[in-house]
Amino acid sequence: MTVLTVDAPVRKDVIGKVVAVVVLLGVWQVAGSAFLPDYLPTPAGVLTELVPTLTSAAFLTALGETVVAVVLGLVLGCVPGTAAGLLIGRVTWLRQLTTPYISGLYAMPMLAIVPMATIWFGYDDTTRVIVIALSAFLPCAVSTADGARSLPANLGDVARVLNVPRGRFVLDFVLPSALPFAVAGLHIAVGRALVGAAAVEFLANIDGLGTFILTSARSFAQNQAFVGVAVLALLGVLARAGTERLIRRVAPWQQTHQD
Amino acid sequence: MKRSGSDSRPRAVAVALAGLLLGLIAWQFAGQRDPVLLATPVRSFEALAAMVSDGTLPAALLDTGLLFLVGLAAAIVGGVGYGLVLSRSKVLRGSTGWLVFAFQSVPIVALAPLILAAFGFGFGAKTLVVFLSAVFPILINTVEGARHAPKTLLEVARVHRSGEWPLWRDVLIPHTLPYAMSGIRQGIAMAFVGTFIAEFFLQATGIGGLLLSASARFDSATVLGLTVLVSVIAALLMGLGRRLEKAFAPWREGSTE
């Protein structure tokens, strides 16, 4: 398995990657136009639709709607989520009291909450922001609680022996150990918030990137729909790359959570 | 302010149960004050019981369960299988490995309308959604695990002219399995999400279908009951996945060199 040459694998890799992409796109193009014309997006179709879609007013408004809702939902979910995580991480009885709710909701696909949310909050923007906020709240709370608990026992003992006041204890002991976990929670939350946004928009028919994809797909503009999907994926990648950099900055020793 | 290691297990369970009880009482009170928006737990339970006795709930559970299991099984076979192939083939790994990561970042929810348009809403299309949701974490963890297979063992096997199959059986699979199990744990959670994507956006069947139709009727008792049921099932599946991962974890310890 060990390879002794140094430069050959690199060049081979590039060739391999190009071949893989060409084969993939070729099969996709041929299969799409041979078996399911008009039903499946094709690479050529996506390419011709790319610029017109990205510059169309409908797409830009939809994108703006979704991004604003996601940012708002992230703020409304992650700020209380992190605070709740600090609390339930340090206060034992509170953690035990809320365990059934936190673990039940954390495990649950947020999609399944949308039918209830539409009854409570109606088919409008409120529902979207609330579902996004809830999708963001849970990973932030769970991860931060892990972090707050991870404070080494001997540090807690030191604080007690030195009579560190409670406020200082939280600021100087708990917060630093919980911070990387809080950012890791944000990392997961961003991904879930974007997916949650698209799901709510589908189900509740709220204007946004999700509905843009849905209406395009329904009106046989598959290539246009695919551009929407790709933009959504790209937003996720960019956001996660951003939080990953943030993690590396606040805690270089921390590995990012996989989700 | 002691570290929380001191909380005893029975006490934790008792407090958690107290929390559940408190929640139920609060829910009952809130439900009595606003019966339209928030059905009481008693009414939700009655709604579930009625669906059990007329057979809709068991049938829906069976539908959902079958879709989940078939999709997950396909994802495990595909993910672990291709992951192992990637670990043996440098060419494939170099050329398609990065594509796996690219595909992984595509949100399957957003793909649902396209899958619906292209492949319809039959069982195959729904299974495809579940498969796509679950396959990537399994695949990525398997590749990661195969990378941890000890190089010396692989080299010894090669020196002794081991055939491809014995090499897989004795070295590759045992060393990869614990990592694949982590992937499968994540895959279980993702397959559950995928099942709901399929049932919500392709064809309203199973539990997802019941949820949608009850929501359209503003039948909050049924929706609440089903939502709680879903979260209990999800928590059980998470527990099962964690247990599975733990069962194979000792192998991982042994493999570190």
Q: Residue B151 pLDDT > 80, yes or no?
A: no
State residue B184's pLDDT score.
92
The whole-number pLDDT of residue B162 equals 78
Nearby residues of A73 by Cβ (< 8 Å), 6 or more positions away: A128, A129, A130, A131, A132, A133, A135, A136, A193, A196, A197
Q: How big is chain A, counted in residues?
A: 259
| Nearest-CA distance B229 → chain A (Å) | 10
pLDDT for B2 equals: 42
DSSP three-state, residue A220: coil
With CB atoms and an 8 Å threshold, state whether B231 touches A259. Answer: no
Which residues of chain B have a CB within 8 Å of the CB of A214?
Answer: 113
Identify the pLDDT of residue B6.
46
B143 contact residues in A (CB cutoff 8 A): none
SS3 A53: helix
pLDDT for res B73: 95
**Which of A14, A119, A131, A190 would best serve as a mutation to test chain B binding (most B beta carbons within 10 A)?**
A119
Q: Minimal CA–CA distance to B224: which of B18, B4, B46?
A: B46
Residues B187-246: tens digit of each pLDDT: 999 999 999 999 998 988 899 999 999 988 888 889 989 999 999 999 999 889 888 888
Q: Angle B220-255/B41-53 helices, nearest 10 degrees? A: 80
State the average pLDDT over residues A65-77: 93
Q: Give the model confidence (pLDDT) of A194-231 as tens digits.
A: 988 988 998 888 888 888 888 888 888 888 888 889 89
A259 → chain B, closest CA residue? B186
Q: List CB contacts (< 8 A) between A232 and chain B.
A: 107, 110
Flag if B196 and A111 touch (Cβ within 8 Å): yes
pLDDT at B156 over 70: yes
What 3 state SS string does A225-238 have?
A: HHHHHHHHHHHHHH
Q: How far is CA B123 from CA B2, B127, B131, B195, in A?
A: 54, 6, 12, 11
CA distance B117 to B132: 16
Q: What is the mean pLDDT of residues B125-139?
A: 93
Residue of A nearest to B215 (CA): A115
Q: Crossing angle of helices B56-88/B90-104, nearest 10°?
A: 140
pLDDT single digits (tens) A182-199: 888 998 899 889 988 988
Q: What's the average model confidence in pLDDT over A121-141?
A: 90
Cβ distance of B20 and A103 shorter than 8 Å: no
Predicted TM-score of the model (pTM) = 0.83
List the single best residue of A12, A40, A97 to mutate versus B (max B Cβ within 10 A). Answer: A97
Amino acid sitting at position A178: A
Q: Which of B2, B4, B64, B182 to mutate to test the interface with A (most CBs of A within 10 A)?
A: B4
Q: Which residues of B touch A122 (CB under 8 A)?
A: none
- Higher per-residue confidence, A136 vs B37: A136
Q: Which of B61, B213, B45 shows the shortest CA–CA distance to A119?
A: B213
Quote the CA–CA distance of A243 and A62 in Å, as a whole number.
24
Please, are residues A212 and B123 in contact by the beta-carbon 8 Å criterion? no
Which of A24-28, A227-231, B137-141, B233-237 shows the lowest per-residue confidence on average (mean pLDDT)? A24-28
Angle made by CA atoms B137, B143, B149, in degrees to the nearest 5: 135
CA angle B188, B192, B193 (to 5 degrees): 120
Confidence at residue B4, expressed as pLDDT on a 0 to 100 scale: 43
Question: Exposure string (b/e) for A176-190, b if CB count within 10 Å is 16 or more?
Answer: ebbbbbbbbbbbbbb
Percent helix, strand and coil across chain A, each rounded to 5?
85, 0, 15
CA distance B250 to chain A (A): 21
Distances (CA, A) of B2 to A55, A85, A151, B6: 58, 17, 10, 8
- Indicate whether B256 pLDDT > 70: no
A253: confidence class by pLDDT, cuts 50, 70, 90? low
